[in-house]
Chain A
Amino acid sequence: MSAPLFSFTGVTGGYGATTVVRAVDGAVEAGEACCVLGRNGVGKTTLMRLLTGHLPLQAGAATFGGRSMDGLAPDERHGLGMVYCPQDRPVFDNLSVRENLTLMASADTDRYAPLLAAFPILEDRMAQSAGTLSGGERKILSFVRGAAEAGQLLLLDEPSEGVQQENVERMAAFLHEGKAAGRALLIVEQNLAFALEIADRVIVMDHGEVVLAGNAADMTEATLAAHMHV
């Protein structure tokens, strides 16, 4: 069996001298989704920031497409196909919705057509500044931007936060489509039902460490919930 598209071992890091995340291992194959679960403040977002190059690793390593991510800046990782939708401040508040979607590519929004059809709220607000959107709408905008990018690896940090249930279901549908197209997904979530709907593998974190990891098919919501509240 070939090596997974994206894998990381012993990932350790935090802010300055403080270590938040300790020795976290994980892997995602193409066409597969891995969900990172855990309560608030257990280091899930820190893990994402370590993997996307926004924080330096204190120890450990990450490999994407056979390439070491060591020392690569966020924009270089993006260039290799790593797409990231952060949890906090997911869009450019001072740019319009259209500018958020066309910042790095052509001015037309054709490639967003299926996504915009599913989330018509954005189409209505194209000219509006993204800072005027509600929290959930910003998450949708961020999701649409990420889902339409060409990169093979998608890292989403709490995409469903503040988003209405019907839109969460639409997100899940697009994520299934992405998996079918060979994308690898690494998703941080608090919404268990949504996570289990798309996940093939699950990592549960507590106090910056992995407390449970395995195939999503082997886990019930009750087992996961028990591990999330230890």
Chain B
Amino acid sequence: MDPILTTNILNVVYEVSTLAVVVLGLAVVFGLLGVMNLAHGEFVMIGAYCAFFVQTQSLPFLAAVPVALLVCIVLGLAVERILVRPLYARPFDTLLATWGLSMLLREGVEAVYGRGFKSVAVPLTDSIDVLGADYPSYRLLLAAVSIALVAGLVWWFVRSATGRRIRAVVNNRELAGSVGIPVTALARNTFIFGCCLAALAGVMLAPLLPVNPTLGLDFILKSFFVLVVGGLGSLVGLISGAGVIGGVESIVSAFLDRTYGYTTVLVIAILFLWLRPNGLFPRT
């Protein structure tokens, strides 16, 4: 196979799978709590800064994973209790509140680390020969971990008792409480889980991104586009949305440049909002 084509295909796979991890966190929280967390991108950003922090402490890269999870569990717990829970069933207020939170988190990180770009060293610097194309092994590993993570979570969601209970709450919150599902605790844990997933993506992506306080904005926008295109109904919608948005951006960026990539994604999202507002797989 043509090495350039292979590289492009691998780029699409990488882009789509990492995006899917971020969106999955956002979508699970929206599905269960009905809360669109506009600060979701900031949790990606915090994850990336955890990777940077670990590097400044001369710890191995993987140490960033427990650090990021710990930070996000504490932060998620506080945000859910103080901000999200009192505003259940008030979607517009939640949007404003989480948008405010996102600003607070950006400013907070900026106060500590400044506005400048930080770089995190790539843990694996070599590259692997894939069908004649020389591809960075860290990106390949990242795509593999992301795919495994999403596939594992989907499998768990479909097969486990907890997954079934989450689906039950999404379908019928009142009945779920009355059959004995601790709805409040489940919602809290799901919110924290969504934050942790974002942070995990942030850690993994940190070596490939200019780490700065505003990096979350890009992710929240793209995640929105994914949900607009895929619809909020199902995991299939989520993954196909990630496929369309991540794929198109990556392909157009490769053949033209990143600005065109971004513009195309924006146009697709607008067309979907206009012509097919419920996305490819609407919620039933």
Residues on A facing B (Cβ under 8 Å): 49, 52-54, 73-75, 77-79, 83-84, 86, 89-95, 99, 103-104, 145
CA distance A145 to B176 in the complex (A): 13
The reply to whether B175 and A91 form a contact with Cβ atoms under 8 Å apart is yes
A94 touches B167 (CB 8 A): yes
Nearest A-chain residue to B185, judged by Cβ: A75
What residues of A have a CB within 8 angstroms of the CB of B167 in the complex?
Answer: 92, 94-95
A88 to B, closest residue via Cβ: B174
A-B contact pairs, 15 of them (CB 8 A): A49-B174, A52-B178, A73-B184, A74-B178, A74-B183, A75-B178, A75-B180, A75-B181, A78-B179, A83-B178, A84-B178, A91-B172, A95-B167, A99-B164, A103-B161
Contact code string B139-179 (vs A, CB < 8 Å = 1, else 0): 00000000000000000000001001101101110111111
Asked whether, in the complex, the Cβ of A94 is within 8 Å of the Cβ of B178, the reply is no
In this assembly, does B182 line the interface, its C-beta being within 8 Å of a C-beta of chain A?
A: yes
Contact A75 B171 (CB under 8 A): no
Given contacts A54-B178, A74-B183, list 8 more A-B pairs with CB under 8 A: A73-B182, A75-B180, A75-B182, A86-B174, A89-B174, A92-B172, A92-B175, A92-B176
B180 close to A104 (CB less than 8 A): yes
Instruction: Report whether B168 and A75 are in contact in the complex, using a CB–CB cutoff of 8 Å.
Output: no
B177-A53 in contact (CB<8A):
yes
Please judge, given known A-B contacts A73-B184, A75-B182, A78-B179, whether A93 and B174 are in contact too, CB under 8 Å: no
Q: Which residues of A contact B183 (CB under 8 A)?
A: 73-75
- Distance in Å from the Cβ of B92 to the closest Cβ of chain A? 17
Q: Is the CB of A86 within 8 A of B178?
A: yes
Q: Give A197 to B116 CA distance when docked, in angstroms.
A: 77
Instruction: Note all chain B residues with C-beta closer than 8 A to A49.
Output: 174
Please give me the residue from chain A that is nearest to B186 by CB atom. A75
Cβ A78 vs Cβ B175 within 8 A: no
Partner of A89, one of B170, B172, B179, B182: B172
A109–B168 Cα distance when bound, in Å, is: 19
Q: Which residue of A lies closest to B178 (CB)?
A: A84
Residues from chain A with a CB closer than 8 A to the CB of B172 are: 89, 91-93
CA distance A74 to B165 in the complex (A): 15
With A73-B184, A95-B164, A99-B164 in contact, do A54 and B177 touch (Cβ < 8 Å)? Answer: yes
Q: Which residue of B lies closest to A52 (CB)?
A: B178
Contacts of A78 in B (CB 8 A): 177-180
- Please name the 4 residue pairs, one residue from A and one from B, whose CB atoms are nearest each other, closest first: A74-B177, A78-B180, A84-B178, A94-B171
- Which has the most chain A C-beta neighbours within 10 Å: B172, B176, B180? B180
B182: nearest chain-A partner, CB-CB: A75
| Complex: chain B residue closest to A74, CB-CB | B177
Residue of B nearest to A142 (CB): B175
| Among B172, B175, B177: residue with most chain A CB under 10 A | B175
Q: In the assembled complex, which residues on chain B have CB atoms less than 8 Å from the CB atom of A145?
A: 179
Measured CA separation A95–B170 after assembly (Å): 11
* Min CB gap A17→B, angstroms: 16
Assembly CA distance A103 to B161 (angstroms) = 7
Residues of A within 8 A of B165 (CB): 103-104
Q: Are A92 and B171 in contact (CB under 8 A)?
A: yes
Q: How far is the CA of A145 from the CA of B177 in the complex (A)?
A: 14
CA distance A78 to B171 in the complex (A): 19
**How many angstroms from the CA of A104 to the CA of B172 in the assembled complex?**
15
* A103 touches which of B179, B182, B184 (Cβ 8 Å): B179
Nearest chain B CB to A25 CB, angstrom units:
23
The listed residue with most B CB atoms (<10 A of its CB), out of A84, A90, A103, is A103
CA distance A122 to B3 in the complex (A): 57
Contacts of B182 in A (CB 8 A): 73, 75
CB nearest to B180 among chain A residues: A78
Whether A92 lies near B168 (C-beta < 8 A) is: yes
**A54, A73, A74, most chain B CB atoms within 10 A:** A74
Contacts of B177 in A (CB 8 A): 53-54, 73-75, 78
Cα distance A73–B174 in the bound complex, in angstroms: 11
